[in-house]
Structure 1
């Protein structure tokens, strides 16, 4: 079975699950960055009382979580499966939750949640970003444009958080040579700033793998490894903070708390 036949059969099987209204392909397979051994990332969009036992009953080898099994919230569960010798990730997506997030985003509101492997956590509008980027395989799904109110208001919320992180790193870790804590906070602040930049530019982002590159801040990767001793940390914090502020200034984002870093 070739990849096209595999994907067609897989999507039809998933679309047949009770309460599932649509199936979409995401990840590297839609972004043109997939390797031959890359996973197949699929989302099943349901409305109502979806029960994972129906997915489990198909009998594909792997692990099928309950709803909320991945921490609840935006990422409310999914499955890691092997189907026809291929690694398949299935994500549960509640259309009622998508509708709520869309209403909030159009009003310029969002929230963030922690998620493993995501340095700054994930914004609620991640579910909208997925819809904009994914390829619908079955059913009918919207492809949302970036809401103007979110583009106007989200950058300030992100940057306010980044400023606090930079301030804390500069005051409480860098002067005392706490390299691990300081660098960890810098990584978080850069990721948060990247979200601010992308929001200001109205660019959707679905995960951390391309976050800095897409925001034009991946040059900081080099700066992060230049600190040779604890005495370098204060200067490093200011250098990276200045770079982040400069990049955000390029977007003409409206910020309620101007930063004096040149």
Structure 2
């Protein structure tokens, strides 16, 4: 394996310099665990390119880094409108596309307490559209300038109820439709989703930003549901009892 040319301190500056030179890019930020200082030695590197106007992924491909570069909207559209999985100097590097017009829209919506929840891979409960605002709050800007918003009071007021309502409905549906048939897998899946929805509610009530679900249950104190899910068996009465107990735990944790 070839020796790495850049230290961990030098690498983000090297990458940001190359990304900042792409047409339409106005800012580059380092995100994820690397920005938060919670990374492991093998953690990947997450970057966001904030552009205004026409960004062309072909310009990113032309940098010559091996990997996969999606088109705009290539990750299913919505709030995550595409990006790239690359290898740079022997490290795994993710690049997310961030249209500044779209980011500014979601920032204004969050300040008004409005958001949507979209389906997205790797997010059991879905992803709130204010995730791009959460990124602004937690990312480390390496090139250009970006706002660093506080958690909006209106979002803190409205988001917890929206998330908790989804959790209640998720569990209620499972109790009515899955538990009576002894469908343990479906009940376990519903419990996992409801726990993540409740965790979003808990953290929103605290005014804490969420950018992924990796530590969501730990941050919200909901890991105690694990044994109940692990003990689920294809028995209708036992499943109903487990879902009722999970509903009690989540209800006690949920904001009033």
Q: Assess same fold via TM > 0.5.
A: yes
Measure, in 1, the Cα distance between the counterparts of 2:10 and 2:188. 46
Where does residue 178 of structure 2 map in the other structure? 173
Count of aligned positions: 250
1:232, distance to aligned residue in structure 2 (A):
1.6
1:163, distance to aligned residue in structure 2 (A):
1.2
Measure, in 2, the Cα distance between the counterparts of 1:79 and 1:210. 24
1:32, distance to aligned residue in structure 2 (A):
2.5
Where does residue 242 of structure 1 map in the other structure? 248
Specify the SS of the correspondent of 1:128.
helix
Measure, in 2, the Cα distance between the counterparts of 1:156 and 1:174. 26
1:229, distance to aligned residue in structure 2 (A):
4.7
Where does residue 151 of structure 1 map in the other structure? 156
Q: 1:219 aligns with which of 200, 204, 224?
A: 224
Alpha carbons 2:166, 2:197 under 8 Å: kept: yes
1:49, distance to aligned residue in structure 2 (A):
0.9
Per the normalisation by structure 1, the TM-score is 0.92
Measure, in 2, the Cα distance between the counterparts of 1:20 and 1:44. 6
Structure 1 stretches lacking a partner, 5+ long: 254-262
Q: 2:10 aligns with which of 5, 8, 16?
A: 5
Where does residue 42 of structure 1 map in the other structure? 47
CA-based RMSD of the aligned residues comes to 1.1
Alpha carbons 2:25, 2:52 under 8 Å: kept: yes
Q: 2:84 aligns with which of 79, 83, 89?
A: 79
Q: 1:57 aligns with which of 47, 55, 62?
A: 62
1:197, distance to aligned residue in structure 2 (A):
1.0
Per the normalisation by structure 2, the TM-score is 0.95
* Partner deviation per Cα, 1:140-163 (whole Å, 9 max, x = no partner): 011110110111111111111111
Measure, in 2, the Cα distance between the counterparts of 1:145 and 1:168. 36
